C-alpha cells in the first residue's frame, strides 16, 4: 500500500527566540513507496525570517587570532593548455564563524600564488582523501582521451608537502567521472556510459584503494606504488545486452544526481526510460533499486558537517535545500524482489525547511557549488561558490578565456531545530576572487574542484 504524509495547514511552531514567519510558499509533497522499499519524501518549504529590531546582518566575520586554527579552501583551476591541465590555489575565505577572509565583501581580490601545477589529463574530477599513512590528499581522476597518454589519469596533491604525485591509470578512461571517497578508497563511476570508443567504456565502475599506497621518487618525478584501479559490479541500469540494431544507435544515459550516505551510494539517472533511485552497497558490493522516484536534487548532495543533514540543489526550484536522508536495512523476509544479498533496504528522504535572517538581496544563492564545514566544532555551516566570465574580449562562456570572477558566500550560525525540522541560518559573509591567466588561459568553467581544509585535514568537498 502506498503511504502518504500530509502537510499540516499551519506553519510549524518556532521556539520563542525566533520570530514567526511572514509568508509560506508551498512546494508539492512527494511520498513515494514501492513494494520493495518504504520511502518518505516530505518536502517542506523554505522561508525568510523577519529581522528583529536592532539586529544587524553581519557582512564580515571577525578575523581569528594567529593562535587559532585557520580554515582554508583549495581551488583547482582548469587551464586551456595541454600542460599543466590544472593549478591548485589556497584561499582564506569567510568559511567559519570567527574566521576572516582575504579582503572585504564585493571588491574582487586576486588569487594568491598557486601552490602547484598538475601535469595531468584534462576533464578530471577531484575529491579529498584522508589516509592513515599520509597527509591529507587532493586526488584527481579522469581524462579526455584514452589513446593519448599526455598525462596521468590519477594525480595526487599532498596538501602538507605541496607535492604532486602521479597515480595509476584507470581501467577505462572516464570523462569527469563521479567520484565518491569511502575512507581510503575512491569509487569512480562513468557519468555518461558508452558502449563504443575509448572514453567512458567498460568497466564503467572502478575503485582505487589507497590504504597501502606508497609514494616514491624517481627520475620522472613522484609516483604511487602498491595501488591500482579494480573493477566494481556493473550498474544494472546502464545499457547492456544490446541488439545489433540498438548497438548502432545506443541509448544515452546520464547520472543526474548522487549522494553517499554511510556505506551506500545513491543515484538517479536520465535516459533509456530509466527513473528512480538506485543504491550501491560498498560493503556487499551489490546494486539495488530503492524507489521508483528520482532523488529530489540535481548533481551531488553534500553532508552538512556536524549534523545528519545533506545539502543539494532542488530539482524543482534549483535552490539550496537541506535533506535528511536515511538508508536502513532489515533482515525480515519478504517477497524475493525486495531482498538484495539477504537484506531489505528502506529509504527515507525528508526535505527540511530553511529559515534565514538575511536581507532580500542576500538570499541564499542558487545554481552554485557547495562545501560544508564544522568549525568551531559543533557549529556547522556551508559555503556556496559561483562564477562569471570576466574576460574583457569575450562576452559569453567560451571553452577558453583568460578571466573569471569567483564569489564565495559563507553561511554560518546554522542551527538545526529537530523539534520543528528547521535549519536556521543567521550569518552570511561574501568574498569575490579574480582569476586571471592570459598565458595558460582558463577552461570553462575554470573551477574543477573546491575542497575544504581545517587543521591540515580535508573535511569537505564538492565536484
* Secondary structure in 3-state letters for 278-317: EEEECCCCEEEEEECCCCCEEEEEEECCCCCEEEEEECCC
Kindly state the percentage of the chain with pLDDT values over 90: 42
Question: Given this model, what pLDDT does residue 3 score?
Answer: 34
Question: Given this model, what pLDDT does residue 369 score?
Answer: 83
Helix H or strand E encompassing 244 = helix 244-248
For 30-57, how does the pLDDT look when each residue is reduced to its tens digit (9 = 90+)?
A: 333 333 333 444 444 344 444 444 333 2
Question: Given this model, what pLDDT does residue 117 score?
Answer: 96
What average pLDDT does the segment 215-231 reach?
A: 92
What average pLDDT does the segment 364-368 reach?
A: 65
Q: How far apart are CA 327 and CA 264, in angstroms?
A: 8
What average pLDDT does the segment 263-272 reach?
A: 94
27 pLDDT above the threshold of 70: no
Domain boundaries, the chain: 39-238+252-462
Question: Given this model, what pLDDT does residue 192 score?
Answer: 96
Return all residues near 410 (Cβ < 8 A) that are at least 6 apart.
Answer: 61, 93, 94, 95, 96, 381, 382, 383, 427, 428, 429, 430
DSSP assignments along 41-92, one per residue: EE------PPPPTT----SSPPPPPTTS--EEEEEEEEESSSSS-EEEEEE-
The model scores a pTM over 0.85: no
What average pLDDT does the segment 1-25 reach?
A: 36
Among 75-84, 309-318, 414-423, the minimum mean pLDDT is found in 414-423
312 pLDDT above the threshold of 50: yes
CB-CB contact of 185 with 207 (8 Å) = yes
358 or 69, which is more confident? 358
Q: How far apart are CA 40 and CA 5, in angstroms?
A: 8
Question: Given this model, what pLDDT does residue 375 score?
Answer: 59
331 pLDDT above the threshold of 90: no
Q: How far apart are CA 19 and CA 48, in angstroms?
A: 10
What average pLDDT does the segment 359-386 reach?
A: 71
What average pLDDT does the segment 383-411 reach?
A: 80
Closest CA to 183 of 155, 165, 208, 214: 208
For 166-191, how does the pLDDT look when each residue is reduced to its tens digit (9 = 90+)?
A: 999 999 999 999 999 999 999 999 99
Q: Can the peptide bond before residue 82 be classed as cis, meaning omega within 30 degrees of 0? A: no
What average pLDDT does the segment 351-361 reach?
A: 75
CA distances from 125 to 193, 222, 264, 462 (A): 16, 20, 20, 10
Question: Given this model, what pLDDT does residue 88 score?
Answer: 96
Question: Given this model, what pLDDT does residue 81 score?
Answer: 85
User: Sorting pLDDT into bands at 50, 70 and 90, what band is 378?
Assistant: low
Question: Given this model, what pLDDT does residue 367 score?
Answer: 61
Q: How far apart are CA 298 and CA 315, in angstroms?
A: 5
For 187-204, how does the pLDDT look when each residue is reduced to its tens digit (9 = 90+)?
A: 999 999 999 889 999 999
Return all residues near 21 (Cβ < 8 A) that are at least 6 apart.
Answer: 11, 14, 47, 48, 49, 50, 355
Kindly state the percentage of the chain with pLDDT values over 70: 73
Amino acid at each position: 500500500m502506498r503511504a502518504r504524509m500530509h502537510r499540516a495547514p499551519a506553519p510549524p511552531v518556532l521556539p520563542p527566540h525566533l520570530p514567526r514567519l511572514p509568508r509560506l510558499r508551498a512546494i508539492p509533497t512527494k511520498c513515494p513507496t514501492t513494494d520493495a522499499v518504504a520511502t518518505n519524501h516530505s518536502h517542506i518549504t523554505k522561508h525568510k525570517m523577519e529581522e528583529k529590531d536592532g539586529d544587524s546582518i553581519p557582512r564580515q566575520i571577525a578575523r581569528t587570532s594567529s593562535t587559532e586554527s585557520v580554515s582554508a579552501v583549495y581551488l583547482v583551476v582548469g587551464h586551456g593548455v595541454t600542460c599543466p591541465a590544472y593549478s591548485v590555489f589556497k584561499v582564506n575565505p569567510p568559511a567559519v564563524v570567527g574566521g576572516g577572509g582575504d579582503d572585504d565583501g564585493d571588491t574582487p581580490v586576486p588569487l594568491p600564488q598557486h601552490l602547484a601545477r598538475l601535469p595531468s589529463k584534462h576533464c578530471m574530477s577531484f575529491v579529498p582523501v584522508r589516509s592513515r599513512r599520509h597527509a591529507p590528499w587532493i586526488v584527481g581522476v579522469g581524462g579526455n582521451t584514452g589513446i593519448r597518454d599526455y598525462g596521468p589519469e590519477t594525480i595526487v596533491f599532498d596538501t602538507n608537502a605541496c607535492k604532486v604525485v602521479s597515480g595509476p591509470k584507470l581501467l577505462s578512461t572516464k570523462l569527469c567521472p563521479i567520484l565518491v571517497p569511502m575512507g581510503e578508497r575512491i569509487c569512480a563511476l562513468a557519468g555518461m556510459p558508452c558502449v563504443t570508443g575509448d572514453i567512458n567504456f567498460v568497466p564503467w565502475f572502478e575503485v582505487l584503494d589507497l590504504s597501502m599506497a606508497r609514494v616514491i621518487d624517481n627520475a620522472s618525478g613522484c609516483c604511487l606504488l602498491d595501488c591500482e584501479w579494480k573493477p566494481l559490479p556493473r550498474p544494472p541500469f546502464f545499457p547492456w545486452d544490446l541488439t545489433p540494431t540498438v548497438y548502432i544507435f545506443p541509448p544515452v544515459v546520464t547520472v543526474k544526481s548522487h549522494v553517499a550516505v554511510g556505506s551506500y551510494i545513491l543515484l538517479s539517472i536520465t535516459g533509456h526510460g530509466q527513473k528512480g533511485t538506485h543504491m550501491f552497497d560498498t560493503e556487499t558490493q551489490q546494486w539495488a533499486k530503492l524507489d521508483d522516484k528520482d532523488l529530489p536534487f540535481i548533481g551531488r548532495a553534500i553532508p552538512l558537517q556536524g549534523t545528519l543533514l545533506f545539502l543539494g540543489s532542488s530539482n524543482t526550484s534549483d535552490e539550496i535545500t537541506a535533506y535528511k536522508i536515511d538508508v536502513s536495512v532489515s533482515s525480515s523476509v519478504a517477497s524475493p524482489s525486495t531482498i538484495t544479498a539477504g537484506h531489505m533496504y528502506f529509504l527515507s528522504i525528508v526535505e527540511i525547511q530553511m529559515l534565514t535572517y538575511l536581507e532580500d538581496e542576500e538570499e541564499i544563492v542558487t545554481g552554485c557549488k557547495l562545501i560544508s564545514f564544522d568549525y568551531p566544532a559543533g557549529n556547522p555551516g556551508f559555503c556556496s561558490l559561483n562564477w562569471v566570465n570576466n574576460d574583457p574580449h569575450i562576452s559569453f562562456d567560451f571553452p577558453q578565456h583568460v578571466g573569471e570572477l569567483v564569489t564565495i558566500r559563507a553561511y554560518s550560525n546554522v542551527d538545526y531545530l529537530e523539534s520543528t525540522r528547521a535549519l536556521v541560518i543567521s550569518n552570511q559573509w561574501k568574498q569575490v576572487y579574480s582569476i586571471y591567466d592570459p598565458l595558460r588561459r582558463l577552461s570553462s568553467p575554470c573551477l574543477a574542484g573546491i575542497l575544504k581544509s581545517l587543521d591540515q585535514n580535508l573535511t569537505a568537498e564538492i565536484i
